[in-house]
Amino acid sequence: MSAFNVAKFGGTSVANFEAMSRCAEIIENNPETRLVVSSACSGVTNILVSLANGVKNDNERLELIEKLRAIHVAILSQLNDATSIEPRINALIEKVATLSEVACIDVTAKLTDHLVACGERMSTHIFAQLMRERGIDAVRFDIRQVLRTDSTYGKAEPNLEQTRTLAEQNLIPLCKKHVVITQGFIGADIDGETTTLGRGGSDYSAALIAEAVEASGLEIWTDVPGIYTTDPRIAPNARPIPEISFSEASEMANFGAKILHPSTLLPALRHQIPVFVGSSKAPQEGGTWVRQTVESAPLFRALALRNNQTMVTLRNPKMFQAYGFLADVFTILAKHKISVDLITTSEVSVSLTLDQTDTSGKAPELPLDVKKELEELCIVEVKQDLSLIALIGNKMSEKKGSAKAVFGTLEEFNLRMICYGASPHNLCFLLDSDVAKEAVKRLHIDLFE
């Protein structure tokens, strides 16, 4: 295991000169941090995604490019000497302008990856220069030389073995001599073409890099001081959790807690790399450690809320004492690459929720052709405007009275689906979106306050 940490800074942490300076101070105060993974500056990826979708109005497109330029020029203007990196930033902005014109003619996933990757490429040029001006021996490194993926543009899968080999050759020796600043979110396929890991993939790529260099720790610096018992915007008395297990944190990420990307913990878990989550705005407030084992494993640990859920109910009286129906259903879904999240069954019906497979934030749709195919087997009902609440904890199904404590609080709410017992770490239920926040608030009061 390498005797250094990997630190990842999100978009709000590198949003402007002041934010980047706070990040630099964190690195100065943590000499064991030798590898830094940075997101694009806040707001940049959204601009690039808009351009990648093809903005055909010339004025609108130029306005977005000028916004992009203004974000970076504002930081460059506060550096003591930007002459070495300003031409590189300008070249990348020109690249964005050229690609955005191509996107007006033909939008492709490959072009989109090339375009949106420019955000991280620009932020790391600036961040490395800012670090050098503070007396830190920092070098910028292009992570595409190490993070090898397949060619699934927009949601590339990493090649762990190749990434590890390339990290040993190109990255670890550099970290022994310098503080290395590199990009999150992006990689390259075997042909050297730029790929991305999907929106929110900076955390995931940081964890993959930490695994590849066998780091002793991974720090995720964001805009909140750690993982909370629930979203403080919903429950004002939500409190930070000092320590949480990988299993609990994985459940929270999977069920909607936005503090960590759902895939982030997999590489850390594989190599048992402890993960720290803290706020770059207030590092003195501490944060949350995510570890393999923790001293305390309470019955109820946290609440997560995931909006924009779609429930599909399949009814067929012929299911009664029959076999093969579920196999037929999942064969159809698998053929169309539709992923299922939760599922409950009765003698004559099945209810399931569709997994959120894209990054739009919208509720997933059941494609019309899939619906028609399912209707050859059964009656199909689709319900949207639903939210999923997940209560995260430990051995809840083994503790008498735990369900009563939860459902007593929820007796005034109409629960559309309940999933309990499949995992010792969660109890999930589906309800109408317009009452979901109130349900979370009441559960937090009764179970955590």
401, 299 Cβ separation under 8 angstroms: no
93, 134 Cβ separation under 8 angstroms: no
Query: In sequence order, what DSSP letters do the residues of 378-416 get, joined into one string?
Result: SEEEEEEEEEEEEEEESSGGGSTTHHHHHHHHTTTS-EE
- The response to whether 195 counts as a known ligand-binding position is no
- The response to whether 10 counts as a known ligand-binding position is yes
Instruction: Return d(Cα 360, Cα 364) in angstroms, integer.
Output: 9
185, 143 Cβ separation under 8 angstroms: no
Question: Quick one: which of 439, 417, 434 has its CA closest to 354?
Answer: 417
Q: Please name the residue that has the structure tokens 């989109």.
A: 112
**Alpha-carbon distances of 140 from 88, 170, 190, 348, 378, rounded to whole Å:** 12, 13, 22, 60, 57
Q: Are strands 138-140 and 5-9 parallel, antiparallel or unpaired?
A: unpaired
- The response to whether 258 counts as a known ligand-binding position is no
Structure tokens that stand for 265 in this block = 């913990």
- The response to whether 149 counts as a known ligand-binding position is no
- The response to whether 108 counts as a known ligand-binding position is no
- The response to whether 344 counts as a known ligand-binding position is no
Instruction: Return d(Cα 48, Cα 54) in angstroms, integer.
Output: 10
Instruction: Return d(Cα 27, Cα 7) in angstroms, integer.
Output: 8
- The response to whether 153 counts as a known ligand-binding position is no
- The response to whether 45 counts as a known ligand-binding position is yes
- The response to whether 228 counts as a known ligand-binding position is yes
Q: Give the burial string for 313-344 (b: 16+ CB within 10 Å, else e).
A: bbebeebeeeeebeeebeeebeeeebeebbbb
Question: Quick one: which of 138, 197, 140 has its CA closest to 163?
Answer: 197
Handedness of CA 51, 156, 222, 91 (dihedral sign): negative
Structure tokens that stand for 420 in this block = 């309990």
265, 208 Cβ separation under 8 angstroms: no
- The response to whether 9 counts as a known ligand-binding position is yes
Question: In a 3-state reduction of DSSP, which class is residue 267?
Answer: helix
The letter for the amino acid at 419 is C
Residue 155: other Cβ atoms inside 10 A: 18
140, 157 Cβ separation under 8 angstroms: no
What residue numbers does the annotated binding site cover?
Answer: 8-11, 45, 120, 222-223, 228, 233
What residue numbers does the annotated binding site for ATP cover?
Answer: 8-11, 222-223, 228, 233
What residue numbers does the annotated binding site for substrate cover?
Answer: 45, 120
